[in-house]
A and B are shown apart, each in its own frame.
Chain A
Amino acid sequence: MNTVLSRANSLFAFSLSVMAALTFGCFITTAFKDRSVPVDISVTKVMLKNVDDFTGPREKSDLGFVYFDVTADLHPIFDWNVKQLFLYLSAEYSTKSNALNQVVLWDKIVLRGDNTKLNLKEMKSKYFFFDDGNGLRANKNITLTLSWNVVPNAGILPLITGSGHISVPFPDTYETARSY
């Protein structure tokens, strides 16, 4: 503390320690919060095609097309320890070959300060809904859920599934595949 540099050093070290303690406080105030909100998903249209799966050396595979509406209010999730949300819509179903299949159909990033009211109509899926065989045809229980990653300032990166899902049956017949 006798010279400018030694004072600057102790001042800087003390400030850093205080900042670290504050960051931990920010984490601890939000660590036990429930970040699940109700989500309303509805499916407006389902199409099923049987096309060549270009992602692997397989024969023809089932390709589903799902058009959906999503309504949710994400505002309760945001607080001072949330930078952004990564939302994704996934389809879960079981086939003869696999007890659980999970396919991500669509995703969206909601930044802090963005509109938190989700009201999406007639959305097309962003990614191909390929099954690794013919498990989609006449599958009566394909469940769509919306989940999200909470990206925090400090702390853990929780993975949360919204309450509210929908199960849709897929058709028994293929549409004639012209293009996909």
Chain B
Amino acid sequence: MLSVFNSVPTHMDYKGQKLAEQIFQGIILVSAVIGFIYGLIIEQFGWTVYIVLAGFGISCLLTLPPWPMYRRNPLNWQPVIPESSGETREKPQENMKKKKHK
């Protein structure tokens, strides 16, 4: 059961993580400012909360799934070093697994 979830690739590369964090912080801060001003004008604090929640939803959609724009700078792994015949069967498999997971 858990292995099914673990096999779904969700990683972002380092630059992608930074970009995702900047995107959600920007969206939520902007929606907070808009919501505060709008709520102050129409005198309804409820609308401030709704607008911030909308910003939360939008940034969830934009930053939770690992969209391709967060995976443009993959890490350059060193090529597989050939070793003695006993371990060559396992090592490449491990490396492939690693690439999928990270």
Interface residues of A (CB under 8 A from B): 1-4, 7-8, 10-12, 14-15, 18-19, 21-23, 25-26, 29, 78-81, 153
Alpha-carbon distance between A29 and B12 when the two chains are bound, in angstroms:
41
- Chain B contacts of A80 at CB under 8 A? 39-40, 42-45
Alpha-carbon distance between A1 and B11 when the two chains are bound, in angstroms:
9
- Chain A contacts of B12 at CB under 8 A? 1-2
Q: Which of B11, B24, B25, B35 contacts A22 (CB 8 A)?
A: B35
- Chain A contacts of B102 at CB under 8 A? 2
Give the dominant DSSP class at A's interface. Answer: helix
**Interface Cβ pair total, 8 Å cutoff:** 66
Determine which residue in A2, A7, A78, A153 has the highest number of CB atoms from chain B within 10 A of its CB, and name it: A7
B10:A1 contact, CB within 8 angstroms:
no
Alpha-carbon distance between A107 and B11 when the two chains are bound, in angstroms:
61
- Chain B contacts of A153 at CB under 8 A? 45
- Chain A contacts of B40 at CB under 8 A? 29, 80
B48:A22 contact, CB within 8 angstroms:
yes
CB distance from B44 to the nearest CB of A (A): 6
Q: Which of A4, A8, A26 contacts B48 (CB 8 A)?
A: A26
Contacts beyond the supplied A3-B10, A12-B56, A25-B36: 15 A-B pairs with Cβ under 8 Å: A1-B12, A2-B12, A4-B66, A7-B63, A11-B24, A14-B25, A18-B28, A18-B32, A18-B52, A19-B52, A22-B36, A23-B45, A26-B48, A80-B40, A80-B44
Determine which residue in A1, A79, A81 has the highest number of CB atoms from chain B within 10 A of its CB, and name it: A1
CB distance from A84 to the nearest CB of B (A): 14
Question: What would be 19 A-B contacts, judged by CB atoms less than 8 Å apart?
Answer: A2-B12, A2-B17, A4-B10, A4-B64, A4-B65, A7-B64, A10-B21, A11-B56, A11-B64, A14-B25, A15-B55, A15-B56, A18-B28, A22-B32, A22-B35, A22-B36, A22-B48, A29-B40, A80-B44
